[in-house]
Chains A and B, each alone.
Chain A
């Protein structure tokens, strides 16, 4: 019998706010342990959490971008469990009445467009960080750092609509694009700003029943997500084929060995006894607020790709590359706004710009989109040659100097003075009588050599089109 996986993902995105979810402590990393803490996020008795408005705003943005219904009334809940990274003994999350429900995103996998349902999106606080002393097996103590406690997270829960590890990867990439383009999360999986747990079960292909699922944690890259799901699918198929059965449990992915293994947690510990958080009043999000957020939504990556292909007549591939991150896309659009034709702008941004950014980092880029547009104009009006333009581009990229000044100082202006070029061509022909004879005897290839000689003599500044024309003219005499 052939089996298919049934997969649903729970994705946690850390929201890009300055302060925490319920207090004014900074969300910035890199401080010494517990430097960003106060009585609220330390869970001291008698304190009250107050909701960060921006977290609500960001979560509504995500809900709208993923076609969710925004709940008119929404409440927070306490999820109770004991663990030292959770100072209050409960996590403030949402359970009943989450802020967004019933959405979907469209993904492309294996050339096929598929809709993946989103069950819900809710807000919750992150826990602190535990560091274990010494070697894990022999350590006697753990250290608790609560800087991360109460940092705002958004949890996006999908329907079990995903049917392959590739689709899971495509779905995850889609969510990453959306949060990055909305500017609400930096999308960095390695650093944990975007994390993912997967529920996976198997069933005979074509069946509509659900098998027993396992939950996999600890997949911090797209590659690991796919690898973990592939491994887990095979493991479950083998179990069923050997007349065994899948145990409902939480499993950890070991990226070094490429396998998942049981966390052997006691199920009893997962009795969270959710109840409405009495310290936070209900949230009411009226149609006006929703509409206001809808108006503020920036263009998504998909919309940009559609516009680049439709209006700007770029290829799908170019549109994909240019929108791979919003900074590059914005840069490209500003080059076009600066007067460059989309195709030329796309060539320069994808070519020189992205090459130099890759080498030196985006912080090193001193060049402005207007300067790029100006350099493109210089090439199109034949004021400089294509190769000179690259040199100008590189210098402006490094220094931010005015391109006209660079052209002037380096003597890169293209010579389009016909008389001067004619003189130079004649000199080259006089110096190479043998080659001239070979050309006239039918060796067309010699022309390239002669062009090269003229360009060399003019230090690359001669207008190559004119050089070609004049050479042909004088040779045909």
Chain B
């Protein structure tokens, strides 16, 4: 029997649900809203309970949960980065790093470092909130941040390609993978061989890190906002407009191979996520749809649910069993993969 997503409960939050971050044990979720809400949702025995912790004036922008701990961070238009205790919901610390708002937050896989981007500046913080390093401002603002799996490299999406910061104090070296277009996303393949970026001009660009050889896949209807690697580095799922396109990196690689088109969404896909340690992909769109896919096996959705509003974000629990789904009207739902 094909896999299915079983609804396990939902809770209403009074905000546009911008993003969700799971705690490593899957027992809690941090949530941020477009109007600024920061909330903690407990997920125990399938019952969801939400508690509002605070607010970023003018809107929240980013959230990340430490992969090894009980704290999470949020940032907002107010310029602040807040560190929250995910157990009792208290505010641990407020950082005000720059005049520009922090738009990106990403914990290193070992949880010892937090990377942030505010405007053109990438900063590295220690887990206690002390600033460890601020890189020289880039030539453009940073559209996305991502760590590679070992946590040695941090990628930054720029107008003009990708910067890869080597996190190796005290050298803090930076390599550039240039391409004359604006990168929207950055994603390292889990096997560490390549870095991919969705581009503003309707292409996916990727670089083989060892040789710096690059390649690109064109033909998207508009900018490529979403990129997600499968855990085995075989597939790169990409989203642009209503389309989800997967590239197969098995065998000789995607160059010259036909893309796998996953069809079903009838409005813009807002979020894509590959199952940690698994073969399943979930997507959510403005067509109110939550879809479950298995690229390489099926081009049609294995399962789909019509939610109560446009889906803004979909996030797998770290164990790959649950999917949290956020909606534009504020509902957060959890599904279990069967």
Indicate whether A and B interact.
no
